[in-house]
């Protein structure tokens, strides 16, 4: 873990739990997101049904997360009442937690364990789907990228629990984690 990650880890105990409120996967590039009630997060790859499952194992961008609070800010910047999370092309929508405080940290949703790896910056497509100014509205509110470090089922309504590295359960035999 880098210096910024170690600093954030000191405050992890003060971070409340969040809730998973939406799951989306995209079977192919540039296809619309499909909303799911639950799915399997697969260690080293991503979410079952998502195009990233066919990618390189171990990527730091296996899944992406955004919060309802970030989406509300983006909507305000664009003068909208709301934004459908599927338009933003993030896999998981969570609420009740400051996502930026999870950067470089481990967390659990349902049975799966993840590690946040980087900020998820908006791409030029956001101007296509949100209209002119979409990219600018998302700057600082794009969410996080993460990797799956323990396979498990996740479902809408599951809690997002920050995990201190020292509390991670022992990895099963043959695990990449």
Domain presence at residue 148 = yes
Domain range for residue 25? 3-162
**Positions in the chain short of pLDDT 70:** 1-9, 169-177
pLDDT computed for residue 170 by the predictor: 63
3-state secondary structure of 8: helix
Residue 168 lies in a domain: no
Here the CATH number for the domain that contains residue 147 is 2.40.33.20
Residue % of the chain over a pLDDT of 90: 73
Residue by residue, what is the 3-state secondary structure of 104-171?
Answer: CCEEEECCEEEEEEEECCCCCHHHHHHCCCHHHHHCCCCCEEEEEEECEEEECCCEEEEECHHHCCCC
Closest CA to 50 of 86, 74, 21, 82: 86
Q: Is residue 167 part of a domain?
A: no
In this predicted structure, what is the pLDDT of residue 53?
86
Is residue 170 in some structural domain?
A: no
Q: How many domains does the chain have?
A: 1
Q: Report yes or no on 83 lying in a domain.
A: yes
Strand partners for 106: 115, 163
pLDDT of residue 164: 84
Give the pair of three-digit tokens for residue 9: 């880890």
**Each residue's pLDDT tens digit, 108-135:** 999 999 999 999 999 998 999 999 999 9
The residue whose two tokens read 């993030």 is 90
Q: How far apart are CA 164 and CA 171, in angstroms?
A: 15
In a domain, 174, yes or no: no
Q: What is the DSSP letter of 76?
A: H
């Amino acid at each position: 873990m880098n210096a910024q990650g170690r600093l954030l880890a000191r405050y992890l105990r003060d971070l409340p739990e969040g809730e998973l409120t939406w799951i989306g996967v995209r079977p192919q590039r540039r296809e619309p997101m499909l909303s799911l009630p639950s799915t399997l997060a697969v260690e080293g790859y991503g979410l079952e049904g998502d195009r990233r499952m066919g990618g390189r194992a171990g990527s730091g961008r296996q899944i992406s997360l955004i919060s309802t609070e970030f989406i509300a800010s983006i909507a305000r910047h664009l003068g909208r009442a709301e934004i459908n999370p599927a338009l933003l092309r993030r896999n998981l929508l969570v609420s009740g937690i400051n996502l930026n405080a999870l950067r470089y940290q481990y967390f659990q949703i349902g049975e799966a364990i993840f590690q946040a790896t980087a900020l998820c910056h908006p791409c030029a497509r956001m101007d296509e789907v949100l209209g002119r100014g979409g990219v600018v509205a998302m700057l600082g509110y794009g969410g996080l990228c993460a990797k799956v470090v323990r396979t498990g089922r996740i479902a809408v309504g599951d809690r997002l629990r920050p995990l201190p590295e020292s509390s991670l359960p022992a990895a099963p035999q043959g695990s990449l984690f």
